[in-house]
Structure 1
């Protein structure tokens, strides 16, 4: 409040009082005018301030909602912080490990990931037997994130078309290192902690299984024979079930696959298969005739593992699967069959 000061002890003179009254009146008039002006302008001013605040908040929220990633083919993409509608064909195993159910699932004709159908039974299948589904088909599922598990899926214009529908991330080969791929998926989906916990749990399972096998079947060798429509092969120790047994559980493979990911198997080289246990896979039920032909031969029956009853047909559903759920099932089978 505006006033007049005076020295202590000085006599308060009447003209000072008049001056005070005049000044006070001026102040009140000015205050009233400013107040009215402020009142008349405040809605617009407040609205502008509110809009600026909301705009700033929206910008910050948008930044939080989107993150920039570069995929394994070098594409830089903006991904929602927590995507809600994910399409990631052939990565359903890993998605489920993170607690994410896709909008559609991979299939080869009518064949899908049968071992996952308990959780995916209500998820529609998209057939990849003739190549990736068209953009029109995929668009009907309204994905907000597309993840392709191999660079092969992104060719022939697929990436360009899919990326117009939603941000599209491409792995070079997600099956090459399932744990690393799971970590990447965790980052893309805002599920890094879930990925970390899943991997830690898996490592614990591996350690426990290794201890049981080393105690009950030390030094034993295995062979994995895959019967398929195109032929018979021995699976090496670098991918799918071979990776789990050899690289994770530390079980030695037959010498025939020491330097091979896959080796064509014929009756002529069967006697060289030095394995204490043989695991047989009928791939998608398409190797039945070839399996019958080989296993009924006298050469097959002369193999020590066969004579000792250590030949087991295992499920192609997950022994040819790629993901920690499949790997855990493979471990359970291996421990059971090698230590009973």
Structure 2
């Protein structure tokens, strides 16, 4: 399921803490030192200085957002956690067929990682200190922040810059971010010119277990929400969310607060399990919702990763502009 259902379960178990919702675009990048050759030192999200003999060329990625960033920088990973799943959910930066599978994102194989003899492993800090410690016995590990609902766009920029420094691709990172900024500015202008500035949106994904449909909402601090907000739109979902991912959980009854006639509702179902079109098709509450009645329900094209880098972000920009700038 999207991101993994473990994340949703953890968010629910944590009582869905109220997130911060800032969207500052220019967060300070981590302290880095990146000569074009020779030793490279990068301070990662743990505050740990990771020193490499030179820019890493053989890299293993354990989370898809970071894998997308590596590929977009021109560094094809030698190993990826669940590359088949990546191919389903991420189309912005495709993997070569020869990339090795090193296990699941939740439980990657340390043996499979070490067997590839990588220069560097890139992973997110939510995977746990124990896994980091195991891998660091054999290979340097760069730990990204992965998400921060207080400023997810700034966090994305900082993670990309940090990874780029470690692999000697800072110029490529600067171009990726410049292109992303240009797409944001262009999209914001098109939406404003169409008279749609301030219009509401909501973003969700969901899954069905038995007859129960669970819906995960992307709140103010989620990455894709912050993209919409930067385009001049308004996230209509104001329910509780967690403070890291900006995600909240609800059911179909919880959507009845989305009453604005101008609201567009976006969702992702890249694995083919469309709980909104199929699981809720005969639900009277669902079919009575204004955005359903008015045809303002949008299944996103398959393979736009909700937790990605600048290239996935540009895919979301395109969808917002396509919907509102008409």
TM range (shorter): 0.7 to 0.9
User: Are the equivalent residues in 1 in contact too, given 2:304–2:316 (CA < 8 A)?
Assistant: yes
User: Are the equivalent residues in 2 in contact too, given 1:143–1:165 (CA < 8 A)?
Assistant: no
Alignment of 1:89-238 (within 5 A): 89-90=62-63, 91-107=66-82, 110-114=84-88, 115-116=91-92, 118-134=94-110, 136-148=111-123, 150-156=124-130, 158-173=131-146, 176=152, 177-216=155-194, 217-229=196-208, 231-238=214-221
Q: What CA distance in whole angstroms lies between the structure 1 residues aligned with 2:228 and 2:36?
A: 44
Which of 251-260 and 297-306 deviates more?
Answer: 251-260
Unaligned runs of 5+ in 1: 1-61
1:279 match: secondary structure? strand
Q: What CA distance in whole angstroms lies between the structure 1 residues aligned with 2:36 and 2:217?
A: 50
Instruction: Indicate the residue corresponding to 1:269 in structure 2.
Output: 254
User: Are the equivalent residues in 1 in contact too, given 2:304–2:315 (CA < 8 A)?
Assistant: yes
Give per-residue Cα distances to partners, 1:152-208, cap 9 Å, x unaligned.
33422x223322322222223357421111111121112112111211111011100
TM-score (norm 2): 0.74
Higher RCO (CA-CA < 8 Å; seq separation 6+): 2
User: Are the equivalent residues in 2 in contact too, given 1:228–1:282 (CA < 8 A)?
Assistant: no
Structure with the largest fraction of helix: 1
Shift of 1:324: 1.0
Is residue 82 of structure 1 aligned with residue 39 of structure 2?
A: no
Number of matched pairs: 273
Shift of 1:130: 4.8
2:252 match: secondary structure? coil
Q: What CA distance in whole angstroms lies between the structure 2 residues aligned with 1:105 and 1:129?
A: 9
Moved over 6 A (4+): none
Unaligned runs of 5+ in 2: 1-34
1:318 match: secondary structure? coil
TM-score (norm 1): 0.71
User: Are the equivalent residues in 1 in contact too, given 2:268–2:302 (CA < 8 A)?
Assistant: yes
Cα RMSD, aligned residues only: 2.8
CA 264–258 in structure 1, closer or farther in 2 if over 3 Å, else same: closer
